[in-house]
């Protein structure tokens, strides 16, 4: 099998695993315990927090460790919405329908069960949210705005710094889901100007099951998981020490090696995009042609069932995705395909090809040699 689904998850870097292993066995204490076992575990968590803060250019007290990017999104949106409603009465939340389901489904829930009002921001044909769109939508009752840094499904990079400035000028909290972005884009929160930012380790060669939320000091936030006082009282539960250590080491390596990793995948991505658009009839690139993640190629093919195409690719030895890895097995186009205005005949035929550390030029040559005939076969089978 040739793995071409690095936006779904990445393998754990061996250096990350080496950093994690002692905390499963030798240093297994509970960080909340007073004795030396607990002190050693607490030291590991706080060292990881300091490393994470250094990579994000913030203070350690602004880092909250969570179980994943989705939980980080939930904590940011629910916590900020509740806090701002209590503080000012604001009950509107702004986000685009091109967001990850961790954001959109959280907002649907807040609207249906908690009485919040949601305004869905328009995106352009590339899935991009403009600062002007955000600025026009903000009103006196806006509690929080959430726009993803880079789209998981189509790879588009949003102008986060400008959107953050538009929110700051109106005194509105701004959150970004940077789960896909962190592997390849700068995550300096001072440069970006965000109030909250969500991360997930398994997108940048860390373990599944651990994430983080940056929360700018002074940002009003209610806890969404209550119990003990861990994570500054915002996220109760015994800290997952080994995974937190893995998160920090994976993020550190990502910062150190970002340019090298980008240089490896970007030419291969461009080769895929150029060949597919030239060779395969009735194919379109989805996402922005320039402002896109360097490892990310995504397409739609007219009159193709994306799940059929994935099955054919899998049988041929290629692991790819049809849009979001969190949205599979559905006969309808994803919300992202609808948000960018694709007709159903096109939106059903999405394919996402994402590259990573194990991708070689031979892999891409092999993939491109077979893809055209598999697309035609999928058309016949539809």
> Active-site residues: which are they?
326
* CA distance to 128, 189, 249, 278, 347, per residue, from 55 (Å): 26, 9, 10, 40, 38
Residue 41: Cβ within 10 Å count: 24
3 state SS of 156: strand
Q: Are 280 and 372 in contact (CB under 8 A)?
A: yes
Taking residue 213's Cβ as centre, other Cβ atoms within 10 Å add up to 26
Instruction: Give yes or no for a contact between 350 and 337, defined as CB atoms under 8 angstroms apart.
Output: yes
Please give the C-alpha separations between residue 88 and each of 85, 194, 200, 210, in angstroms, as whole numbers.
6, 20, 31, 33
CA atoms of 143 and 372, how far apart (whole Å): 48
253-269 residues labelled b (16+ CB within 10 A) or e (exposed): bbbeebeebbebbbebb
CA-CA distance, 81 to 109, in Å (whole number)? 12
Could you tell me which residues come within 8 angstroms of residue 267 by beta carbon, excluding any fewer than 6 positions away?
Answer: none
Q: 320: which DSSP letter?
A: -
Q: Please, where are the H alpha helices in the chain?
A: 14-20, 36-56, 69-88, 101-114, 131-137, 160-169, 189-192, 241-279, 306-316, 335-339, 344-347, 361-381
SS3 percent helix, strand, coil of the chain, rounded to 5, is 45, 15, 40
């Amino acid at each position: 099998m040739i793995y071409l689904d690095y936006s779904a998850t990445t393998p754990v870097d061996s250096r990350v695993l080496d950093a994690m292993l002692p905390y499963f066995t030798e240093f297994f204490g509970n960080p909340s315990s007073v004795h030396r076992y607990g002190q050693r575990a607490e030291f590991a968590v706080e060292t990881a927090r300091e490393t994470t803060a250094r990579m994000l250019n913030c203070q350690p007290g602004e880092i909250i460790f969570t179980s994943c990017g989705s939980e980080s999104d939930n904590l940011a949106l629910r916590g900020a919405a509740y806090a701002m409603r209590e503080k000012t009465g604001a009950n509107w939340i702004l986000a685009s329908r091109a967001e990850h389901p961790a954001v959109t489904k959280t907002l649907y829930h807040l609207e249906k069960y908690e009485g919040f009002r949601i305004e869905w921001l328009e995106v352009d044909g590339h899935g991009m949210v403009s600062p002007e769109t955000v600025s026009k939508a903000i009103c006196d009752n806006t509690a929080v705005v959430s726009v993803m840094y880079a789209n998981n499904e189509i790879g588009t990079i949003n102008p986060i710094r400008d959107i953050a400035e538009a929110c700051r000028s109106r005194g509105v909290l701004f959150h970004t889901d940077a789960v896909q972005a962190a592997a390849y884009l700068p995550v300096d929160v001072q440069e970006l100007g965000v109030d909250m930012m969500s991360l997930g380790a398994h997108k940048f060669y860390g373990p599944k099951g651990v994430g983080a939320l940056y929360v700018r000091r002074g940002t009003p936030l209610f806890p969404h998981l209550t119990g003990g006082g861990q994570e500054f009282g915002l996220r109760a539960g015994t800290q997952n020490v080994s995974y937190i250590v893995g998160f920090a080491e994976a993020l550190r390596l990502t910062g150190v090696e970002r340019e090298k990793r980008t240089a490896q995948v970007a030419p291969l991505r461009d080769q895929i995009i150029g060949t597919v658009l030239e060779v395969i009839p009735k194919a379109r690139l989805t996402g922005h042609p320039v402002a896109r993640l360097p490892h990310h190629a995504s397409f739609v093919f007219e009159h193709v069932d994306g799940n059929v195409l994935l099955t054919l690719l899998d049988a041929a030895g290629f692991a790819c995705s049809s849009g979001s890895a969190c949205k599979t097995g559905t006969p309808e186009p994803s919300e992202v395909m609808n948000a960018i205005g694709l007709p159903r005949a096109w939106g059903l035929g999405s394919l996402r090809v994402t590259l990573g550390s194990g991708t070689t030029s031979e892999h891409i040559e092999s993939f491109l040699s077979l893809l055209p005939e598999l697309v035609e076969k999928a058309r016949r089978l539809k």
